[in-house]
Amino acid sequence: MKTKFGPALRWQLREYGLGVFTFWAVMLALEVFFVAVSLIALAHGEGTGESNFNGAGGIAWFCYFVLGLAQVRADLRLGAQFGIPRFTMMKATWAAALLTGACLALALELLTGAGQLMLAGREGLYVSDLYQTVYLGEAGGVMGLGGHLASAAFNLCGMLAAFGAGAALSLVLWLFGRVRWVVLGCLALPVAVSGLIWLAATLGVDPTPFFLWLLASPLNCGGFFLAAAALTGLAGWLALGRVNIRPGVV
């Protein structure tokens, strides 16, 4: 039996790749603007203070959360229109998210590395990312190849966790069907989170050791992100079997 996974994956790679490239181009423009303004200011003898172009990886996490939240429904509906089973389409969706996320993580490290080389030796001007700031204990400096690969892997884990959370939330809200239930679900989410925080405070649960554990090693934090991606992916998978997908309505 001929599988439809390949065509679905190729289509989603094209769609996701276009969005990822657009995001990367925007980050490139922002970094070029930051470096150019900083160098021009230095050339004119004007102080720039402490300036750091940071957080591209964290913004990519948010980008993948929005991608999972907004794109998964359209993918499933289009797949149903062309006779692709929902679970096959979901597998292709996760594969596309993994492959494009890996490419984006490496491409962002190219930006970070290029920016660090251009600003090397200029006191107070830095280009860095979360991995370098949190786990290497430095906002500036030029990372080696190993550091950039570790940073890319760390950002990829974060992107997958964010994508899984967005996709699971989208599919769970899809189950509600009617607008009033969607609104109720959106209102119930912060109430549930607040309730968990209140319950933890009432029971005297201290989350500090957990956060210290995350900050102790990038392996700990990356493993937590992968576990979160697996759990949210499972939640989305379970919800997927119950949603009513109408083909051709994108």
Please state the rounded mean pLDDT for residues 28-44.
82
Please state the rounded mean pLDDT for residues 170-180.
73
pLDDT score recorded for residue 98: 95
pLDDT score recorded for residue 7: 85
Asked whether the predicted pLDDT for residue 41 surpasses 80, the reply is no
**Pick the residue with more confidence: 65 or 38?**
65
Asked whether the predicted pLDDT for residue 204 surpasses 50, the reply is yes
Q: To the nearest whole number, what is the mean pLDDT of the chain?
A: 83
Asked whether the predicted pLDDT for residue 22 surpasses 70, the reply is yes
Asked whether the predicted pLDDT for residue 1 surpasses 50, the reply is no
pLDDT score recorded for residue 250: 43
Please state the rounded mean pLDDT for residues 27-48.
78
Asked whether the predicted pLDDT for residue 185 surpasses 50, the reply is yes
pLDDT score recorded for residue 94: 93
Per-domain residue ranges of the chain: 5-240
Asked whether the predicted pLDDT for residue 229 surpasses 60, the reply is yes
pLDDT score recorded for residue 48: 53
pLDDT in tens, 64-123: 999 988 888 888 888 888 888 888 888 999 999 999 999 999 999 999 888 888 877 777
Asked whether the predicted pLDDT for residue 2 surpasses 70, the reply is no
**SS3 assignment for the chain:** CCCCHHHHHHHHHHHHHHHHHHHHHHHHHHHHHHHHHHHHHHHCCCCCCCEEECCHHHHHHHHHHHHHHHHHHHHHHHHHHCCCCHHHHHHHHHHHHHHHHHHHHHHHHHHHHHHHHHCCCCCCEEECCHHHHHHCCCCCCCCCHHHHHHHHHHHHHHHHHHHHHHHHHHHHHHHHCCHHHHHHHHHHHHHHHHHHHHHHHHCCCCCHHHHHHHHHCHHHHHHHHHHHHHHHHHHHHHHHCCCCCCCCCC
Asked whether the predicted pLDDT for residue 248 surpasses 60, the reply is no
